[in-house]
Amino acid sequence: MGPADCIFCLIASGSAPAKKVYEDDKIVAFHDIHPKAPVHVLVIPKKHVATLTEYLPEDADLLGKMMLLLPQIAKTLGITARGYKVVINTGKEAGQVVFHFHIHLLGGGTIEEV
């Protein structure tokens, strides 16, 4: 369990709404609420981890699964051919605002900075 006020924990548990595009026992992917591109999806682990920095060697399988999910979602949402961008903001000065690990998937047209 993560912090009770973590919005991504609430989305992961189904307690807060999200436009989900993928879900399994460990991972959820959903549309960003303020999209910076025509397609802007966030891939998150259900288990709360604040940043990429906190991950350990035993998390390699989870991280690998999240990484491999990105091209699958890109294909499903039809953004593969034109190209897509994958971003992980880590820490305040890098622009991280939500401190529950997430991977941005952006594409389908003009991509703004995230």
Q: Is residue 90 within the footprint of ligand AMP (CB under 6 A)?
A: no
User: Does the active-site annotation cover 34?
Assistant: no
Stretch that binds Zn ion, among 31-39, 62-70, 83-91, 95-103 (CB under 5 A): 95-103
Q: Is residue 96 within the footprint of ligand AMP (CB under 6 A)?
A: yes
Q: 7, 27, 52, 63: which one contacts ligand AMP (CB under 6 A)?
A: 7
Both tokens of 78, joined, read 């039809």
Q: What is the CA radius of gyration of the chain?
A: 13
Contacts of 97 (CB under 8 A, 6+ apart): 89
User: Which residues from 2-21 bind Zn ion, rule CB under 5 A?
Assistant: 2, 6, 8-9
Q: Is residue 14 within the footprint of ligand AMP (CB under 6 A)?
A: no
* SS3 category, 61: helix
Binding site for ligand AMP (CB under 6 A): 7, 18, 32-34, 42, 89, 95-98, 114
* Catalytic positions: 102
